[in-house]
Structures are given as C-alpha cells and as structure tokens.
C-alpha cells in the first residue's frame, strides 16, 4: 500500500503518472488554491491586526486579530491581577522548562524527582503568593494557560502513583485486590469525565466537615486525578504484561523477593515500554483540562469566555479568539505528539 | 519456603484481604451516611422519589415530546434518547469520513496524503470542547437568517436556524414512509423535510469531525498491518487497486481495526456528554438542569454514571460480537 519511494521524483509520478492522477492533481490544486486564497484574504490581506475595535467593525470579510492584540493577557492569565501577571508567566516558564528537561531520556535520573518537587512548589508559590513580599492571589482568580498546564501536570503527577498501585493491584495474586482494582478502573473508564467533574464539584463538598469548604480548584484536581489514574493504570498494565514472565521467574530463582522483582526488574522495563503511550495520555489529559470550564474554572477555554463574553465591544470577534486558543492548544499537543514519535524511535533503537 | 510458613502466608493474605474489604465497605458506608447527614442538615431531601414529580422545565427537541408538567423520569428518558440520537449518526459519519481519510493518508498521491494528514493533525490536537464552542459560535453568528438560507446541495438548506434535509414521509398519514419530503424555501424560511436544530447540528458535526481524525489513524494502522505480500498477490492475480483494497486489504485490516474502533466508539459516546456546553438537551444537560432545580446532585450523577456504564457495556458487547465475526478463525 505505502510507496517505498519518496522525494520529488516519486512525487512527480504520483502527481502526473496517469490521466486519473493528473485529474485528481488538478482538482486538488484548484481546491487548495481556492481555500488558500480565501484563508489568506480573510486571515491576512483583509485582517485588522491593531487593537482597534472601530477598524474591526468597519472591515468586511476579514479577521480581527486586534481582539488578540487587545485581550491576550486576560485570555492567557484569566482574572489574575493585571500588575501581578509576570508571576503566572514565570510559573508557566518554570513548569515548561522542567517538562522539556524531563523529555530528554538522558536526564532520566534520580534528581528529576526532587527537581519536579521544587518546580511544583515554585509554581504554587508564584501563583498563590502571600510570602516573600508577593501579594496573595486566591485560587479563584487563577486562570488561563497556567491553570491549563498546572492542572494537567499536577493531575498527571498525582495520578501516576495511584495508577501504578491500580495496575499492580489488577495483576495481584489476591482476588480481593484484583477485583477492587479492576472494578475501579472499569467504572471510571466507563463514565464521561464530565460526570466525574460534577461529582467533584457537587458531592465532595458534602464530605468535608462543616465550616471548611475545600477550594474548587482542589476538588476539580481530585476529580481529574481519580479519572486520569484509571487510564494510566491500563497503559501501565499493558507494559507489565509485555515483560516476559521468564524474567520474573529467573529473578525469583536468583533469590529476589516479590517486591524487589517488581521494583528493580519488571517496572523499569514495563515503564520504558509504555512511555510513548503515556505521552499520548498526556496529550489527552491536556485537552481534557478544557472540560473544567463546565464546572466553573477559567482555564484557557474559560478565560476566553471571561475575556470576551462580558465585553460587547469585542464579543463579535469570538471566532478569532477561539482560533487563538486553538492554536495555543495545537502547539502544545502537536509538540507532545511529535515528541512521542521521536521517543518511540529512540527507545526502539536500544531494543532492536 | 516450608509448608508451614506458606500456610501462614496464605492465612495472612486472607486476613489482609478481609480487612481490606471491611475498610472499603466501612469507608463507603461512612461516606454515604455523612453525605446524607449533611444534606439533611441543609434541608435537601434525598432519594429517587423526585423522579415521579413534575419536572417544571421543558425539552425543546428530540423524538420524545416533553413538557414541564411531565415527571422527571420522562425528562431523563428524553435526555437519554437525545444522547443516542446524537451519538449514533455521529458514529456513522465518523466511521465513513475516518475510513476515507485513513485510506487517503496512504494514497499514492502526495497532495491527497498531505490534505488528509493535515486534517488528522489539526483536529486531533485541539480539544473537542474548543471545536464544539467554535462551531456553535459559527452556527449562530456567521450563518444567514432562516429567511435567506444557504443551499448546500439540492434539498439541503443551512441557516442559523439549523439544517433542513430531505426526510421520508408518508403520503396517506400511515406509519410506513412512501416518499421523500424535500425541504422548500418560502418567504419565512425553509419548510418541509427534517429540520435539525443548530445545537443538534453542532454536536453531531463536531463529534463526527473530531472522532473521524482518530478513526483515520486506526484505519491507517489497520491497513499498514496487512502484509505487503498480500497486496503483491492481489496485483499478481490482476486485481485493480480498488479491488485490492476492497477484497484483500480491508477485510484483513478489520481484525486490527475493530478492537481500537470499539474504544473509539466508547469514547465518542462519552464525549457526547459535552453537548451540555452547547445547549443540546441530552442526558447530562437534563441532569444538570435537574440539579439546578432541586439540588439532588447525588441522585442525578448516579443516574448519569449508571446510564453511561450501561451504554458502554452495550457497545462493548455489540462490538465484541462483531469482532468475533471478523476475527481470524482456525489456525493462526
């Protein structure tokens, strides 16, 4: 099915090799030219790039990128106090830097764990303030990109140990543990994330002692963690199954105990096998954070509604706003999925 | 390990497991009691008795007519039917579009491959909710009024009032359809045929376009899993490329495709719950409205979860039956 030959010479025969192909080429080129021309006309030639609402309203058939020029700060940082927005900006840079560093297999060493703890503490410190002369900003005013990235990263970090326990539990020799883990995983994977978020936002408050209301951010994070853990557990289980049983038997024969076998022999191999699948799950979680807007948190999607919904001047240009945040999500998710492909190849090299 | 020690180990395992069961049960009972107590102290009644009371809100669309005087259970039923009414057409469109795009991604034509790849990479990497909200905004604000609809195809009209398509109708008022009714444009908009609301069009189109990107990847992986020798054998027998695809490649690719496709259909069904964000009255939306009107969060969320678990089970069951039919039989 797939053509072995690649490159310009193969392309020429693909494009003009037979009358049918030539016809397809002409039709597709016409379609691309038509679409490309309209996109260029709308997005660039007729577009207004200045934050000028008058010019935007006066223009016909063009994009108003002025809405992004005017509103990019509330879109990216939500209701975070305007003068303090350097803090979420640095917080995002810190988290992204640590993430990029962890993405490099050569830095998979023990010091990554304390580094992550320091980075997360720094993130919370910068966002929350209240110490070191920083103004305190309550979590209800957090929003935009730091919330999107923070929820995804912290949710995944908290979900991972839970997922590990669930995956090991599902393969446990103890029937009770196996049944409990399997039921939890199947139950959570069978329901939509939105119902888990509803549960977190409506039901968790009922369980806390009266007088102490848990923060909505904490509740949503708890829901997201419980949800993501079930999916990660299945991925890890796949990795555990892929490690040959012989390895466990050899290690047992050499006198390793039950837990050292898992910790030193099975898990390192299993996790290495599922890194690409885990990366895909990271993309999914990053996209799923957009759902928290349904229960009233203003991450990127919610922050857009906040920035434009209440402002009659700019409300007509919602589409440009959506395209802007879609582009932000796209860059993050596409980057991650490219990374996943690269990593798969790199990890594959060693084993073949 | 001596026999005595291993017996002691087995006893220990059973004791730990029994304690675990007790702990889980005790935790569940405490959570339930505590939640009920808090609810009672706030003056919220609990239990499923509300299901027979009049709902007090109406549902604007769907196959089951529902007005405010009817009981809640009928509202939930109408919501569930609306969920199915959105998910089933979305699944059909997603599979058709996804299969075409998946085949297109491997086509021996660089432009076609490029367009299909761009489609997959763009739609897969933007959250569905953002795509749905964008579509909903475009439907409401960028399309003309119902009095000046756009003609997409003969008999298919689109405006910010929704989509009108030809639909089977019965001429003599009987149950069985006898002819197609074609929508016609009048002075006050389009009449006749099936009028689909903008919310419905948004959720079906959004779900199909998004899921099609994933189906395309599944189909591509399935086709690539068929060995090159099979294609060569097909060529040697003198089959045309279309025949090779239809007779040789796709039937074998199905074995790889169906299990992943099942996952994708499950996720599509669960994703239909996002319709709550664009105002389509499906199950989650009905539950959300109910929680807002009587505060029975616990019961409503339990209903949502139970229904989705049931739907998941049904889809898994059906797809597993289908999988057993396409799976390789005999030697392997």
Taking the CA atoms of residue B230, residue B234, residue B237 and residue B243 in that order, the dihedral angle to the nearest 10 degrees is 160
- ipTM for this prediction: 0.89
Query: Per residue in B190-242, pLDDT tens?
Result: 887 788 899 999 999 999 999 999 999 999 999 998 888 888 898 899 888 88
- Measure the CA–CA gap between B280 and B83, rounded to whole angstroms: 9
Please identify among residues 264-283 of chain B the ones whose CB lies closer than 8 Å to any CB of chain A.
Answer: 266, 270-271, 273-274, 276-277
The size of the A-B interface in CB pairs under 8 A is 151
> Quick check: A288 pLDDT over 90?
yes
B6, pLDDT greater than 80: no
pLDDT over 50 (residue A3):
no
Q: How many angstroms away from the CA of A136 is the closest CA of chain B?
A: 31
pLDDT in tens, B161-177: 888 888 887 766 667 77
Residues A336/A279, Cβ–Cβ less than 8 Å? yes
**pLDDT for the residue numbered B221:** 92
Q: How far is CA A322 from the centre of its chain?
A: 18
Tokens of A120: 């997360």
Which chain A residue shows the shortest CA-CA distance from B38?
A206
Look at residue B1 in the predicted model and tell me its pLDDT.
Answer: 47
Mean per-residue pLDDT, B3-32: 84
Closest chain B C-alpha to A21 CA, distance in angstroms: 7
* Helix boundaries (H) for chain B: 3-41, 72-104, 110-124, 128-141, 198-225, 228-236, 241-243, 250-271, 283-294, 297-326
Q: Is A45 on the interface with B (CB under 8 A)?
A: no
In this prediction, residue B166 carries a pLDDT of 86
Per-residue pLDDT at A329: 95
Q: What is the pLDDT, as a whole number, of residue B331? A: 44
Q: What is the pLDDT of residue A6?
A: 59
* B157, HSE (Cβ side, Cα atoms, 13 Å): 25
B196 bridge partner residues: B163
Q: Which CATH architecture has domain A68-349?
A: Orthogonal Bundle (1.10)
Q: In percent, how much of chain A has pLDDT > 90?
A: 38
The per-residue pLDDT for B292 is 85
Interface residue A185 vs chain B (CB under 8 A) = no
- Average pLDDT of the residues in A205-227: 82
- Chain A residues with CB under 8 Å of B127 CB are 287-288, 290, 301, 329
Q: State the pLDDT at residue B329.
A: 59
Q: Confirm if A116 and A157 have CB atoms less than 8 A apart.
A: yes
Token pair for A191 = 């329901």
Q: Write out pLDDT tens, residues A122-148.
A: 999 999 888 888 888 888 888 899 999
CB contact under 8 A, B274 and A29: no
pLDDT at A4: 47
Query: In CATH, which superfamily holds the domain spanning B72-145+200-326?
Result: MetI-like (1.10.3720.10)
Buried b (16+ CB within 10 A) or exposed e, B92-115: ebbbebbbebbbbbbbbbbbbbeb
pLDDT at A208: 72
In the Cβ-directed half-sphere of A315, how many Cα atoms lie within 13 Å? 8
Cβ of residue A322 closer than 8 Å to a chain B Cβ: yes
Query: What local confidence, expressed as pLDDT, does residue A130 receive?
Result: 84
Reply yes or no on whether the pLDDT at A7 is more than 80. Answer: no
Q: Report how far residue B291's alpha carbon sits from residue B301's, in angstroms, rounded to the nearest whole number.
A: 9
The one-character DSSP state at B154 is: T
Of residues A21, A202, A330, nearest to B126 (C-beta): A330
pTM of this structure: 0.89
**pLDDT score, position A306:** 86
What is the percent of chain A with per-residue pLDDT over 70, rounded to a whole number?
95
pLDDT attached to residue A2: 44
Residue B143: what pLDDT? 87
Mean pLDDT over A315-342 rounds to 91
Tell me whether strands B179-181 and B184-186 are parallel, antiparallel or unpaired: unpaired
Residue A147 in contact with partner chain B when CB distance is under 8 A: no
The pLDDT value given to residue A169: 92
Question: Residue A214 above 80 pLDDT?
Answer: no
Confidence of residue A16 (pLDDT cuts 50, 70, 90): confident
Q: Do the Cβ atoms of B126 and A32 come within 8 Å?
A: no
What's the pLDDT band for A352 if we cut at 50, 70, 90?
very low
Q: In whole numbers, what is the pLDDT of chain B averaged over residues?
A: 86
Q: Nearest chain A Cα to B227, which residue? A: A1
C-beta separation of B50 from B72 below 8 A:
yes
Question: Cβ distance B98 to B214 under 8 Å?
Answer: yes
**What residues have CB less than 8 Å from B183, skipping those under 6 apart?**
B155, B156, B157, B164, B165, B166, B190, B191, B192, B193, B194, B195
Indicate the residue of A14, A177, A210 with minimum beta-carbon distance to B20: A177
Instruction: Give the pLDDT of residue B210.
Output: 96
pLDDT for position B68? 76
Contact B177, B169 (CB under 8 A): yes
Angstrom distance (rounded) from CA B303 to CA B311:
12
Residue B328 has pLDDT above 70, yes or no: no
Distance CA(A142)–CA(A136), nearest Å, equals 11
B137 has a chain A CB within 8 A of its CB:
yes
Specify whether the CB–CB gap between B151 and B166 falls below 8 A. no
CA distance B8 to A350: 44
- Which of the residue ranges A2-6, A17-21, A33-37 would you say has the lowest mean pLDDT? A2-6
Average pLDDT value over all residues in chain A:
87
- The domain spans of chain B are 72-145+200-326
pLDDT tens digit sequence for B49-102: 888 888 778 787 777 777 777 888 889 999 999 999 999 999 999 999 999 999
| Chain B CA closest to residue A148 | B127
Of the two residues B129 and B149, the one the predictor is more confident about is B129
**A63 pLDDT exceeds 70?**
yes
CB atoms within 10 A of CB B130: 23
What is the predicted pLDDT for the residue at B4? 67
Residue A251 has pLDDT above 50, yes or no: yes
* A161 — pLDDT class (breaks 50, 70, 90): very high
């Amino acid at each position: 099915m797939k053509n072995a030959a690649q490159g310009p010479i193969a392309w020429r025969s693909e494009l003009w090799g037979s009358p049918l192909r030539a016809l397809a080429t002409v039709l597709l080129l016409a379609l691309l030219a038509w679409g490309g021309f309209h996109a260029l006309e709308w997005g660039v030639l007729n577009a207004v790039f200045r934050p000028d609402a008058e010019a935007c309203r006066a223009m016909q058939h063009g994009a108003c990128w002025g809405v992004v020029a005017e509103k990019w700060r509330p879109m990216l940082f939500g209701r975070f106090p305007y003068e303090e927005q350097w803090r979420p900006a640095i917080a995002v840079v810190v988290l992204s830097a640590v993430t990029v560093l962890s993405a490099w297999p050569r830095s998979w060493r023990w010091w990554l764990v304390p580094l992550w703890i320091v980075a997360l503490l720094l993130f919370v410190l910068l966002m929350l303030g209240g110490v070191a002369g920083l103004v305190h900003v309550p979590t209800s005013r957090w929003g935009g990109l730091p919330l999107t990235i923070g929820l995804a990263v912290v949710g995944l970090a908290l979900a991972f140990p839970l997922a590990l326990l669930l995956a090991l539990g599902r393969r446990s020799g103890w029937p009770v543990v196996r049944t409990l883990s399997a039921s939890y995983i199947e139950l959570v994977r069978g329901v939509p994330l939105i119902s888990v978020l509803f549960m977190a936002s409506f039901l968790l408050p009922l369980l806390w002692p009266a007088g102490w209301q848990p923060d909505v951010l904490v509740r949503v994070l708890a829901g997201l963690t419980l949800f993501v853990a079930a999916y990660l557990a299945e991925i890890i289980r796949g990795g555990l199954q892929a490690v040959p049983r012989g390895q466990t038997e050899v290690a047992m024969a050499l006198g390793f105990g039950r837990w050292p076998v898992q910790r030193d022999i099975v898990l390192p191999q299993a996790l290495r096998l599922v890194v690409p699948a885990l990366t895909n799950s990271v993309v999914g979680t990053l996209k799923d954070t957009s759902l928290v807007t349904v229960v009233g948190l203003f991450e990127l999607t919610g922050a857009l509604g906040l920035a434009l919904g209440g402002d009659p001047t700019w409300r007509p240009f919602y589409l440009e706003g959506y395209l802007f945040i879609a582009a932000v999500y796209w860059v993050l998710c596409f980057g991650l999925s490219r990374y996943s492909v690269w990593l798969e190849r790199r990890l594959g090299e060693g084993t073949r | 390990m001596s026999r005595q020690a291993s017996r002691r180990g087995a006893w220990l395992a059973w004791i730990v497991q029994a304690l675990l069961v007790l702990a889980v049960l005790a935790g569940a009972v405490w959570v339930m009691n505590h939640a009920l107590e808090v609810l009672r102290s706030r003056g919220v009644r609990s239990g499923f008795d509300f299901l027979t009371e009049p709902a007090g809100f109406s549902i604007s669309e769907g196959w089951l007519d529902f007005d405010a005087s009817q009981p809640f259970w009928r509202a939930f039923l109408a919501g569930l039917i609306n969920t199915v009414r959105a998910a089933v057409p979305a699944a059909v469109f997603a599979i058709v579009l996804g299969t075409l795009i998946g085949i297109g991604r491997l086509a021996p034509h660089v432009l076609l491959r490029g367009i299909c790849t761009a489609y997959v990479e763009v739609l897969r990497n933007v959250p569905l909710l953002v795509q749905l909200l964008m579509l909903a905004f475009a439907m409401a604000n960028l399309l003309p009024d119902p009095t000046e609809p756009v003609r997409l195809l003969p008999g298919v009209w689109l405006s910010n009032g929704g989509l009108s398509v030809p639909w089977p109708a019965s001429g003599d008022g009987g149950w069985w359809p006898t002819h197609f009714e074609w929508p016609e444009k009048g002075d006050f908009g389009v009449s006749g045929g099936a009028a689909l609301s903008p919310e419905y069009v948004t959720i079906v189109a959004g779900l199909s376009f998004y899921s099609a990107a994933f189906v395309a990847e599944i189909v591509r992986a399935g086709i690539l899993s068929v060995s090159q020798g099979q294609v060569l054998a097909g060529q040697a027998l003198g089959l045309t490329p279309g025949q090779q695809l239809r007779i040789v490649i796709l039937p074998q690719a199905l074995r790889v495709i169906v299990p992943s496709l099942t996952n994708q259909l499950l996720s599509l069904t669960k994703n239909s719950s996002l319709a709550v964000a664009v105002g389509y009255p499906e199950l989650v939306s009905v539950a959300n409205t109910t929680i807002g009107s009587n505060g029975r969060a616990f019961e409503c969320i339990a209903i949502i979860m139970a229904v989705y678990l049931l739907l998941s089970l049904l889809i898994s069951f059906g797809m597993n039956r289908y999988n057993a039919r396409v799976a390789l039989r005999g030697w392997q």
